[in-house]
Amino acid sequence: MNKTYALLFAFASFSLMGKASVNYSMEGDFIHKTKCQSDTIIDGKAIQEVVVTGRDIIVKDDKLIINLSDKIKKYSHDGYSALALLNVPGLDVDPIDYIVTTNGTSTMLCINGREVGKDEIKTINPKDIKRIDYYQTHDPEHPMANSVIDFIVKIRDYGGMVMVQANENLNKVSGDDMVDWKLYNKKSQFEIQLTDKYNHFTPNRGVESTTLLAFPSGDVEKNVMTKPSGTHSNGIGGKLSYLYKDKTSTFQAALYLQDNHNANTIIQEQTLSGIPSLTSTDYRHNDNISPSLKLYYDKRFSKKASLTVKLDASYNNTKQWRNYEAIEKYASNTKEKFYYVRPEVSFNYKPGGKVSWFAFGTYYYNHSDNTYIENDVSTPNKITEGQAIIMPGCQIKFIPKKFDVVLQVQERIQTISNLNETYTKSYITPSLIYNITLSKNLRINGALFTGVNSPDMKYFNEGEKRIDEYQIIAGGSELEMGRLLSKQASLNGFYKWGGFQFFMAYNNHQKNVFEDIYCDNERKLYVHQYKNGGAYESFSTVATLDLNLIPQKLKFSGTCQYTHSKQRMGFLHTLDTWMGQTSLTYMDKGWQCKLSYNTARKSLNRAGGTFYTPQQLTLSMGYTVNNWFFNLYARNPFMTTSQKTETDRNGYSISSHSYSPRTAYNMFALRVSYRFTYGKKHRYEDVDVDKISRSAILEHDVNK
């Protein structure tokens, strides 16, 4: 990349550990001018501890208070589109895939202080948003989160709201739809939501790779070219929820049911050393049904104390079939029943003065009962993981309105049980977070985190699973939690003309899960096995600049990032990268448009290789009229790009290009939303349910 243009671009994404509890991965606004008084009235209460920037961003001790302009409320159609129209340094929003990050780490989304999923953010009426509370580093109500965006919305108590949304790809049969109905009756709210998704498409390109495998009997070179291969998937979902709210308490109960079906046939032309060209067929079929339950209770005892109790539970029943035919034939099927239960309790106490206290506790229970059958040979596997987390802490305002510190200590107790053994380990990790307000425009925040990274349950799977004639993958029950040390600091500036951020982070990960690759000479196979022991270090520095080129109409955002990475897994692998992104946002006369460009970037993968992500050009153009919203999206239009993986270890070498036409590039999609409310003016609050599909089935992390 030409360094002359480096400052015009913003990094597309990079993984930095924002909190000690987040799983590790190596992949790596300013509103219209309004003069505010020092005592700003929000929800009928005067906020005394604020510094006013002269705009609609207010810097409070531990958060930013963002008041949306009337234009943003008018031209956006949900929570994601409202965030996408903001320009807040360090905040990155993908309105196509519904991803929100802060300085490269995932951001928790809440409605009125309650964690919610993307379906709830998609149903927010922007006109109901009173403000957005943005915790860039720490929210005492959610101490496990890296960062938090809390939509403070109006409460409805009469009438109802209906929202219909359709997302359709314009150049392939693929999309998803949603119908949401909310009914409000005094202190109660009822909600019914129905969703569907589908994808029926035959891409003309797929994986193209060259693999070299060194065996004592002679080397094998395998070249793969994917031919047009059909992809077919359908899914339906339904949610039923109830909410009761009075002056001091809130109770919620929500049920969700999701049913997904996938059937894909991958046809590839292969050439192998000493063997004439042949065509391989890999048929895969996957069915999954998953009911979920969420219970939530929040009690405010006074202005000083609050108690929150939550319960999430889900069940996943997955069935997979695979028929592979090339040099040899393999028929396999996998059946799994996965159970997940998570109770959670949090308590906050603010006695007044300079010190406030919080305590958080949760327990994760995951159990997988799965069986893998290949050519009539059965391999049963049972895995149970339990994790108890206790986190007390306090926030100390050493200098009110100027300097505060959060101190917290986490104890995590993990128990792993499989068919052969059970073991329990405990970890204690302290952390420190600070916020310094230098002036009405400048703020410094940072953190020193220590923590642990819990491996995904699929890595504990002791079985083996075939990739092709010469390769298998294997897990390991002896995996341990990785250790983390993370330091980060940022300088943020908020002005009428725009804003800026300088962000720096150092991360040191020990005992990470990595992909070991070795040759099993007896079986003439290469084994990809997940093990502990890898180490990863990274240092990143990021500069962001936001400009209001035409007030309330045209905004510019640009960032560049430099990252130095080191990976140790029997050898040292270093990587230095520059990444960037730039975007222009325009709003006027019912139109809103956003053009963004991400530079190509490189990162280290788990196998000791390098993963390349191509450049990305994204266009979003929308129009709002009455209760209708129309939005056209395009990703890498009229281009051909591919992800690339390169790995060379222990006699194994692969160079692979992965093409995703009309998805990762040359993608055009239309989103149409319609919303209406009925009844007199009322109050409203949304309901969340955990509907993540969970599994511990062993799979190969191709691009990690």
Whether the pLDDT of residue 2 is over 70: the answer is no
Give the pLDDT of residue 513: 86
Give the pLDDT of residue 458: 82
Among 64-78, 192-206, 303-317, the range scoring the smallest mean pLDDT is 64-78
Average pLDDT (422-431) is 90
Angle at 21 between CA 12 and CA 386, to 5 degrees: 130
C-alpha 100/C-alpha 146 separation (Å) is 12
Reported confidence tier of residue 95, pLDDT bands at 50, 70, 90: confident
Give the pLDDT of residue 496: 85
Give the pLDDT of residue 88: 86
Give the pLDDT of residue 507: 94
Average pLDDT (188-193) is 93
How does strand 471-474 pair with strand 525-550? parallel
Structure tokens given for 594? 């956003």
Among 31-45, 131-145, 566-580, 690-704, the range scoring the smallest mean pLDDT is 31-45
Report which listed range, 177-191, 519-533, 634-648, is most confident.
Answer: 634-648
Average pLDDT (425-437) is 92
Average pLDDT (19-36) is 33
Report which listed range, 30-34, 125-129, 688-692, is most confident.
Answer: 125-129
Among 20-29, 189-198, 538-547, the range scoring the smallest mean pLDDT is 20-29
The one-letter code for the residue type at 125 is N
Whether the pLDDT of residue 18 is over 50: the answer is no
Among 368-372, 436-440, 572-576, 679-683, the range scoring the smallest mean pLDDT is 679-683
3-state secondary structure of 692: coil
Give the pLDDT of residue 703: 58
Give the pLDDT of residue 62: 78
Give the pLDDT of residue 460: 80
**Percentage of the chain with pLDDT > 70?**
88
Give the pLDDT of residue 685: 45
In three state form, how does the secondary structure of 299-362 look?
EECCCCEEEEEEEEEEEEEEEEEEEEECCCEEEEEEEEEEEEEEEEEEEEECCCCCEEEEEEEE
Whether the pLDDT of residue 253 is over 90: the answer is yes
Query: What mean pLDDT, rounded, does the chain reach?
Result: 85
Give the pLDDT of residue 455: 83
The residues facing 616 across adjacent strands are 598
Which of residues 476 and 126 earns the better pLDDT score? 126
Among 18-22, 507-511, 540-544, 686-690, the range scoring the smallest mean pLDDT is 18-22
Reported confidence tier of residue 570, pLDDT bands at 50, 70, 90: confident
Reported confidence tier of residue 54, pLDDT bands at 50, 70, 90: very low
Q: Is the dihedral of CA 518, 460, 368, 15 positive or negative?
A: negative
Average pLDDT (519-531) is 92
C-alpha 601/C-alpha 579 separation (Å) is 6
Structure tokens given for 174? 């693929």
Among 42-46, 190-194, 258-262, 321-325, the range scoring the smallest mean pLDDT is 42-46
Reported confidence tier of residue 22, pLDDT bands at 50, 70, 90: very low
3-state secondary structure of 2: coil
Reported confidence tier of residue 16, pLDDT bands at 50, 70, 90: very low
Give the pLDDT of residue 120: 85
Whether the pLDDT of residue 687 is over 90: the answer is no
Contact between 55 and 33 (Cβ < 8 Å): yes
Whether the pLDDT of residue 19 is over 60: the answer is no
Structure tokens given for 592? 């809103």
Give the pLDDT of residue 695: 67
C-alpha 238/C-alpha 179 separation (Å) is 10
Average pLDDT (589-600) is 92
The domains located in the chain, with CATH, are 3-217+226-678 (2.40.170.20)
Whether the pLDDT of residue 254 is over 90: the answer is yes
Q: From residue 505, give the alpha-carbon distance in Å to each of 448, 449, 544, 556.
A: 10, 11, 15, 25
Nearest to 619 by CA among 642, 602, 638, 596: 596
Give the pLDDT of residue 693: 60
pLDDT tens sequence across 482-515? 889 999 999 998 888 889 999 999 999 998 888 9
Average pLDDT (576-584) is 94
Whether the pLDDT of residue 441 is over 60: the answer is yes
Give the pLDDT of residue 696: 65
Among 3-17, 411-425, 512-526, 639-653, the range scoring the smallest mean pLDDT is 3-17
Average pLDDT (193-215) is 95
